[in-house]
């Protein structure tokens, strides 16, 4: 009888009751950081303009009122036009002012790729941490980054014809590494500690192979771009990379959100998850595949940007708690904030020279981890 | 040895329990039986008669409601090692509480694992409701058989209600949200365990005993026909030990849920359970109702203690005197 009045209300509210103040705060704050970093990012470069000019270029009505311009940027010239005409929109060329052109054509992609990379790495790390029930897990530690990096180097140096399929190659390499890690860790089931140790083994071997490949590179340019890949860099990214990463992000992130409940149950421990009717190994493997895809996507467009997958879920957990519905959403916002902010640092620190963003995230990540290690005794358990 | 035997002795048991049962029925449970009874029948069509706690006279029919767990000729081992447990025939009778007792390493938890299909027997089978537990689909088994394991851990920021909500996992499809029935089941479980006032507290802030109650709420929200509990009272203070056991007993009395529980405290097991299974070195030493199983010789042979066993209206009581040197 009490149920009559009581159950109705949660029924309506419950779908979004997990959407609490702390989560909204993280989302708003992260968005602010992304916007601010983005504005700084688009105003610097060979052609310097003030933040104000950059701002007005970003919000140039010529861009926003002509959907075909945005469609062409996000979907590519041909496909964008096709979609525009398919939707009954004009496909006319729009003459943009120089500032707008520079900001949108050349500088915007770097911000957008940073956003996509951040979101993918953070989500990937969050999933790996739940799957292994270990706070220290990340695509980096589980060997996924090393596998993806090796695959990319191979396609840059040895199989040069594959360059067009980088996200797939990277995800493939990451998947191979992860399957290897899983196989090494498997002993009638897996456990978090064995997974991490296996990850270290595979990372070490793949890392050596990466370095070995440098010796087979013919010219210095290839070596340099290879090094940029292995440290993770957003320098010189183009709309091409945005188009490359966008679809996979739109697959991996929603899948992770859908899997949030599975992740929550996985966190209760293998035995409990099993007694609740979960096919633990199957779910763990499927979610890992999603995480590999997300990591592969990020690595394909920006190389191995370290620490993001490790720190972001960690920071976010302190703020919104461990519920994966909240955690994943928060990661989707906080990951981009960290990467775009770090990329501003990468651009400005030694200006005019630019650092790979991975160096900056490493410089932020290391000390953050040291701080955690000092603060928390039980670090590692989730 | 047959099921009928157990029932005979059980009849006298329920006789003594009946007044307490009726008194309890007058209290909080007065409203409940109607609704949940309907929902239990909804979950599996096999139920014909549903006995409520209102009429104590019918509680002896309870075994018809929930299926029994039967163990026939099993050998259990980990990996390629020698069998840890070997048992010809054991039965966890339907609608009753059965306690597994025995010293450390006697195979209690191992036996429990085989009942939950966590451990495949080298030979033989564990059947639940007449079907090999290994043949059940994991979700199907989880809807009918719940487990409160010992090694559970939840992230500290999970609230008691969130934890209890996870108990609905086997009842929800991959994309399903919470149905109204799911919410009701969670509310019922929280109320039954008596953690309503803690529902929005994170489990990380709770005491060990409160935490265990929260976990029990999760397992009860699963609304299964049978319940396996792996040392649910170990490390708890007396108050919370009784809270856990009382909640389980009420559930058993109200819905005839079959319960199999591993207990460390033999006196507690004797008071709490309808049946005991005493294990020694991985083999059943004796099984049956407490007053038939507990005696000085069992305590000497199985537990290695010299003890006095007294027989009171609440079953046998055990007063340990000293450990016997092997």
For residue range A101-140, list pLDDT tens digits in order: 888 888 899 999 999 999 999 999 999 999 888 887 888 8
A65/B49: higher pLDDT? A65
Q: Which A residues, 180 through 209, put their C-beta within 8 Å of a C-beta on chain B?
A: 188
Look at A79-83, B214-218, B252-256, B287-291 and tell me which has the smallest mean pLDDT.
Answer: A79-83
Q: Which of B139, B141, B157, B172 is the mutation pick for testing A, counting most A CBs within 10 A?
A: B157
Q: What is the ipTM metric for this complex?
A: 0.80
What pLDDT, on the 0 to 100 scale, is given for residue A14? 54
Note whether A271 contacts B: Cβ–Cβ < 8 A. Answer: yes
Residue B142 pLDDT > 60, yes or no? yes
Q: For residue A377, what pLDDT is reported?
A: 61
Tell me which residue in B79, B166, B175 faces A265 most closely, judged by beta carbons: B166
User: Model confidence over A269-305: pLDDT tens digits?
Assistant: 888 999 999 998 899 889 988 999 999 889 888 888 9
Between the alpha carbon of residue A134 and those of residues A193, A378, B200, the distances in Å are: 8, 11, 26
Task: Return the half-sphere exposure (C-beta side, CA atoms, 13 A cut-off) of residue B187.
Answer: 19
Chain B: closest CA distance from residue A178 (Å): 25
Nearest to B158 among A15, A261, A322 (CB): A322
Average pLDDT over residues A151-166: 76
Most confidently modeled range among A43-47, A304-308, B148-152: A304-308
- What pLDDT was estimated at residue B112? 93
Q: Å from B58 to nearest chain A CA?
A: 26
Q: How far apart are alpha carbons B53 and B68 in whole angstroms?
A: 20
pLDDT of residue A270: 86
Q: Over 60: is that where the pLDDT of B153 sits?
A: yes
Q: Between chains, do A322 and B155 touch, taking CB under 8 Å as contact?
A: yes
pLDDT of residue A202: 93
In this structure, what DSSP letter does residue B53 have? S
Q: Collect all residues of chain B within an 8 Å Cβ-Cβ radius of residue A279.
A: 138
Look at residue A77 in the predicted model and tell me its pLDDT: 81
Q: Does A323 touch chain B (CB under 8 A)?
A: yes
Interface residues on B facing A, Cβ-Cβ cutoff 8 A: 31, 79, 116, 118, 138-143, 146-147, 149, 151-158, 162-163, 166-167, 169-170, 174-175, 177-178, 180, 183-184, 187, 202, 222
DSSP tag of A377: S
**What is residue A186's predicted lDDT score, i.e. its pLDDT?**
84
pLDDT higher than 50, residue B143: yes
Is A272's CB within 8 Å of B152's CB? yes
Question: pTM (2 decimals)?
Answer: 0.83
Q: Taking CB atoms and an 8 Å cutoff, what residues of chain A touch B174?
A: 258
Q: At what angle do helices A308-320 and A357-375 cross, to 10 degrees?
A: 50
Per the CB < 8 Å rule, is A264 touching B167? no
Residue A125 token pair: 């790390």
> Do A261 and B169 count as a contact with CB atoms less than 8 A apart?
yes
Residue B24: pLDDT over 90: no
Would you state the pLDDT for residue A42?
87
Give the model's pLDDT for residue B25.
37
Query: Which residues in chain A touch residue B155, judged by CB atoms under 8 angstroms apart?
Result: 267, 321-323, 382
pLDDT (tens digit per residue) in B28-61:
333 333 333 334 433 443 333 343 333 333 344 4
Mark out the alpha helices in chain A (DSSP H runs).
2-17, 21-43, 51-58, 61-64, 67-75, 77-86, 98-101, 108-131, 144-157, 166-185, 192-214, 220-231, 239-258, 260-266, 270-275, 280-302, 308-320, 324-348, 357-375
Checking if the pLDDT of A261 tops 60, the result is yes
pLDDT value for B249:
94
Domains identified in chain B and CATH numbers: 69-154+224-323 (3.40.50.300)
Residue B187, pLDDT score:
94
Over residues B155-163, the mean pLDDT reads: 91
The per-residue pLDDT for A66 is 84
Segment A86-106 shows an average pLDDT of 84
- Section B85-93 average pLDDT: 91
Task: Name the average pLDDT for chain B.
Answer: 81
């Amino acid at each position: 009888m009490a149920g009559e009045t009581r159950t109705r209300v949660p029924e309506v509210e419950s779908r979004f009751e997990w959407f609490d103040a702390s989560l909204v705060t993280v989302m708003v704050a992260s968005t602010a950081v992304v916007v601010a970093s983005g504005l700084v990012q688009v105003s610097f470069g060979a052609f310097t303009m003030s933040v104000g000019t950059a701002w007005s270029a970003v919000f140039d009505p010529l861009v926003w009122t002509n959907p075909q311009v945005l469609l062409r940027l996000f979907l590519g010239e041909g496909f964008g036009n096709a979609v525009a005409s398919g939707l009954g929109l004009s496909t006319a060329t729009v003459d943009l002012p120089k500032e707008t052109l520079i900001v949108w054509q050349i500088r915007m992609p770097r911000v957008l790729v940073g956003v996509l990379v951040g979101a993918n790495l953070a989500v990937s790390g969050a999933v790996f941490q739940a799957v292994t029930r270990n706070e220290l897990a990340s695509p980096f530690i589980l060997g996924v980054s090393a596998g993806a990096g090796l695959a990319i180097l191979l396609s840059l140096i040895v199989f040069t014809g594959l360059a067009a399929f980088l996200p797939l190659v990277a995800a493939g390499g990451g998947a191979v590494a992860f399957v290897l890690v899983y196989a090494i860790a498997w002993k009638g089931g897996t456990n978090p500690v064995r997974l991490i140790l296996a990850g270290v083994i595979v990372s070490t071997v793949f890392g050596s192979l990466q370095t070995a490949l440098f010796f087979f590179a013919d010219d210095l340019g290839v070596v340099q771009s290879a090094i940029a890949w292995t440290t993770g860099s957003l320098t010189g990214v183009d709309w091409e990379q945005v188009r490359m990463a966008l679809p996979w992000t739109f697959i991996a992130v929603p899948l992770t959100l859908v899997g949030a409940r599975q992740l929550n149950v996985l966190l209760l421990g293998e035995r409990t998850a099993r007694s609740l009717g979960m096919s633990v190994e199957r779910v763990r493997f499927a979610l890992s595949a999603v995480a590999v895809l997300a990591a592969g996507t990020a690595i394909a467009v920006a190389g191995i940007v370290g620490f993001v997958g490790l720190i972001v879920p960690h920071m976010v957990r302190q703020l919104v708690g461990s519920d994966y519905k909240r955690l994943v959403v928060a990661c989707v916002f906080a990951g981009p904030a960290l990467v775009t902010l770090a990329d501003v640092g990468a651009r400005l620190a030694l200006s005019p020279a630019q650092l790979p963003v991975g160096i900056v995230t490493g410089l932020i990540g290391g000390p953050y981890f040291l701080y955690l290690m000092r603060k928390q005794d039980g670090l590692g358990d989730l | 040895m047959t099921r009928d035997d157990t029932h005979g002795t059980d009849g006298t048991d329920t006789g003594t329990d009946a007044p307490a049962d009726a008194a309890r029925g007058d209290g909080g449970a007065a409203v409940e039986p109607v609704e949940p009874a309907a929902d239990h029948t909804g979950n599996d069509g096999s139920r014909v008669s549903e006995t409520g706690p209102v009429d104590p006279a019918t509680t002896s029919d309870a075994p018809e409601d929930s299926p029994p767990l039967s163990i026939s000729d099993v050998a259990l081992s980990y990996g390629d090692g020698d069998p840890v447990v070997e048992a010809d025939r054991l039965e966890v009778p339907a609608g009753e509480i059965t306690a597994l007792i025995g010293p450390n390493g006697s195979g209690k938890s191992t036996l429990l694992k085989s009942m939950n299909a966590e451990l495949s027997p080298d030979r033989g089978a564990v059947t639940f409701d007449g079907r090999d537990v290994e043949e059940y689909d994991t979700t199907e088994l989880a809807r009918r058989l719940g487990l409160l394991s010992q090694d559970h851990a939840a992230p500290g920021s999970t609230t008691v209600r969130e934890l209890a909500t996870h108990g609905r996992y086997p009842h929800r499809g991959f994309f399903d949200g919470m149905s109204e029935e799911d919410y009701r089941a969670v509310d019922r479980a929280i109320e039954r365990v008596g953690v309503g006032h803690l529902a929005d507290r994170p489990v990380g802030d709770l005491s060990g005993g409160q935490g265990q109650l929260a976990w029990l709420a999760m397992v009860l929200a699963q609304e299964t026909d049978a319940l396996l509990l792996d040392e649910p009272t170990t490390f708890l203070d007396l108050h919370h030990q009784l809270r856990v056991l009382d909640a389980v007993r009420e559930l058993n009395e109200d819905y005839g849920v079959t319960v199999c529980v591993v207990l460390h405290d033999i006196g507690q097991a004797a008071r709490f359970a309808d049946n005991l299974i005493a294990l020694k070195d991985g083999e059943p030493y004796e099984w049956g109702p407490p007053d038939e199983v507990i005696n000085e010789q069992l305590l000497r042979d199985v537990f290695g203690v010299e003890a006095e066993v007294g027989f009171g209206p609440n079953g046998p009581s055990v007063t340990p005197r000293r450990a016997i040197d092997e």
